[in-house]
Each structure stands twice: as C-alpha cells, then as structure tokens.
A and B are shown apart, each in its own frame.
Chain A
C-alpha cells in the first residue's frame, strides 16, 4: 500500500532521514520507535508529504506521490493523520471539526457528514460534546476527537505522530484504547510512539530508527525479547 524507496530528508546540512526503504502492506499496524531526533516523526510526516522529501520516492496505492503532477490533496484524503498537539480547530465546534473536510471536499452532503460524525462520536461516547468548542475538552477527549475527525474521511491508512505524548498520564489509556479498537477493526496504521506496551500488544511489526535509518525491524515478540542491534538493546534497556 505504501512503498518508500531510498527516502532522504535534509534540513539544511543536517541529514534527518538517510535512505529509508520500507513497504507497508494493507492491514499492517506498524509501530515506529526510537530515541528523540532519530527521524521517526519526520519519516511519518514525509509519508503524506507534510515534509517534502529531499530525495527518494514514495508510492501510495500505485501512485508515485513524490511526483509533482500528483494531486497531493486527493492523496491526503486517503491518509488520515493524528498529531501530538491534537490540532483541533478552536474556532469550530466538535461537530464542525469533524464535518468540515468531508463537506468542503464534496465527499459527503451536510446531512451525511453530520450522521457519520454523530455515529463516530457515539463510538467514543462523546455525543453530548458535539456542539462544544475544543477549548472546553480534556486532552484525552481532544485527541480522541482528532482521531475520529481523521476517520470521518474514511482513510485507507492512519498516521499517528506521538498521539499520547502531550497527554496527562491518566488520559493516555483512553486514547490507546481507541487506537487498539481501530487496529482490531482492521485499519492500516503507522504509529510513532513511546508507548512500548501498545507496540507489544497491537503492532504487527515494530521498526527501530536511529540517526535517520531503520536499524532493526521485527515482529513485536522477537523485537522486544530478542533485540539484535546493540543500539536497540541499549535503547530497550533504558525504556523498559
């Protein structure tokens, strides 16, 4: 579904991604872990071109999206993204946050979008917040609404950029729970996170990044129980 070939990204002289080759198949739940500054967020943000790659190719559903002629806006409709800082639109109600993109892009009528949004809100138990503004919600509620805002577009893949890192510890659970249930529904997911428990439980494959490269990848059991690369062994000994 997503194919990355020799992806490189430099900010000025600083090479953040140093030649990444990776294929993500439909239905996979890929968790990316690594120390700060290893390039894992940049890698994720390159997948929907929020960061423009300096070199290399990215293919999505048979389209080479690094090609200038591809309409990236259409591609992004199929790639939902969830941010560390939630990025809900503070001037719109929860319902408007969810329905804005589907209606403005002509994918759904206002009625369809509202119905879909209420359905999704019911799923996360926040229907009564539909007409609230984001400023009145807790961090956990904001992030869960950000997730269903992306889901309302019926994306083929969801990208999560450290979705729980800005949350109070007591709210991490509710967000991970929602993500787990999405994984169980068969959604293709790429998740950058520091939540090792989530990686162990949900991932079909775990990648370890260091200094702009994927240095090791494996099934979660092998990855955590039998790490091979010394850098990964060192990293796991610190975080587990």
Chain B
C-alpha cells in the first residue's frame, strides 16, 4: 500500500473536476443530454405510431385473410429485426440524406423510430391477440364498427397487458440512441468522448454519462410503474 488514500482520492477528484468544470465542460453534457432526450422522445412517439398501425394491420390481415397485407408487415418486421441498428442508421443516413445540410437529429429520430416500430408492433400484436375473441364480438354485436371496437375495447385492454414489455422496449431505445454518434450526432455518449479527447482521460466522462443514462432509465421505470398501477385500478377478479 504505497498509495495513500488521500492521494488516491485527490486524483479521482481532479479527474472528475477536469471532466466537468474547466471550459464549462458541463455544458457539453447538458447539450448531449438534450439531444439524447430529443431523439428518444420523437423515436418513442414515432415507434408507437408505427407499431400500433402495423400491429392492427397485421391482426386485421389475419382476421380478414388478406395474405399480401400480412406479408408486407412481416417484411418490414423481419428486415428491421434481422439487421443491426447501427447498419440501418448508416444506410438511412447515406442513402437518403446525402446532402450537406442534413439534419442529423431528424435522421436519428426517424431511424430509431422506424426501428423501434417493428419491436413495438410485435409487442402490441401479442397484446391484441391476448384479448378474448368475445370482446370483439361483443363490441361488434352492439353495432360498433371494427375500428371503434379496436380503439375503445381491444386496445385499452391490450395496452394494459403489454405495458411492462413496452416499458422494456423504451428503456432499450433510450440506451440504443448511444450509437447515434456514428452519423455525427452529438448525443450524450458523443459528448463524453469529446470531453475525454480534450482531457486525455476518457474514464471520468464515460462514468458521468453512464450515470445520466441510469437516471434517465430509472426515471422512466418509475413513471411506467405509476402508470401501470393507475391502469390496474379496474383489476379483474
């Protein structure tokens, strides 16, 4: 034990101090956090939208025996789930947005949204299929049309069943946005790398952003569990 604990403590303190305070480096984290939150938020919204639509199309296609429709849905789901997210990100970035003044943030949000949509679609489909057939029949027998019955009777019950799985998907999404840096988006992870390259000490900024992610995810989990409890108020016997 040649290293005294006070020396050790001071070194750690210094590295973290350097990673945060000089040149207002903390601003870089805040900016990165904003970008991560923005991408996650819009990707989640887009993912839910795509997911609900694809899931309903797929279920409807099965109910009404429209083979071509379920084929299209399956191609989308298989391609997205069968290829790495980073590759999708690079392809979309280089394929569509090749002009100089590309809005990388938009590309990121759209790409993550399309990606998440495939997973959300499968989760929602399983949720819809978990609801007893009698519920649709009861709705239809009262004169409600297919879409209204889906919206007012099937989906609310399906969502309650799949909330935990949906929460997992959103948590995964938030963490996966960390690969956004490959298309020159300065998100939280990129901010850490940037600061590390300035201080020649990559570990402290990485630990700092890891904490940011952890807090984000724990916040989201908390939010979801509150939501779950509220939805469970009409628990079945």
On A, residues with C-beta under 8 Å from B are: 48, 50, 73-74, 76-77, 79-81, 83, 85, 87-93, 100-101, 104-105, 133-136, 146, 149-150, 153
Contacts and interface: CB of A to CB of B under 8 A. Distances in A.
A135 B141 CA distance: 21
Contacts of A133: 234-236
B53 interface: no
Interface stretch (B9-17, B39-47, B145-153, B200-208): B145-153
Contacts of A105: 143-144
Contacts of A85: 132, 134
**Which residue, A80, A88, A89, A136, has most C-beta atoms of chain B within 10 A?**
A89
21 contacts: A79-B141, A80-B141, A81-B138, A83-B134, A83-B141, A85-B134, A89-B138, A90-B234, A90-B236, A91-B153, A91-B160, A92-B234, A100-B142, A101-B142, A101-B144, A105-B143, A105-B144, A135-B234, A135-B236, A146-B138, A149-B142
Contacts of A146: 138
B127 to A, nearest CB: 13
Nearest to B153: A89
Contacts, number: 75
Contact of B143 (A87, A93, A136, A153): A153
State the majority secondary structure of interface residues on B. helix
Contacts of A48: 141
Interface in B129-143: 132, 134-135, 137-143
Contacts of B140: 50, 73, 76
B193 interface: no
A73 B141 CA distance: 8
Interface of B: 132, 134-135, 137-145, 148, 152-153, 156-157, 160, 234-237
A50 B139 CA distance: 11
Given A135-B234, A136-B237, A74 B143 contact: yes
The 5 A-B residue pairs with the shortest CB-CB distance, nearest first, are A77-B143, A87-B138, A101-B142, A81-B141, A135-B236
Nearest to B138: A87
Contacts of A104: 144, 148, 152
A93 B143 CA distance: 20
Contacts of B148: 104
A85 B138 CA distance: 10
Given A135-B236, A135-B237, A73 B160 contact: no
A89 B153 CA distance: 7
B157 A76 contact: no
Contacts of A74: 143
Contacts of A91: 153, 156-157, 160, 234
B237 to A, nearest CB: 4
Nearest to B156: A91
Contacts of A73: 140, 143-145
Given A88-B138, A89-B153, A92-B234, 9 more contacts: A48-B141, A73-B143, A81-B137, A81-B141, A89-B135, A100-B144, A101-B142, A104-B144, A150-B142
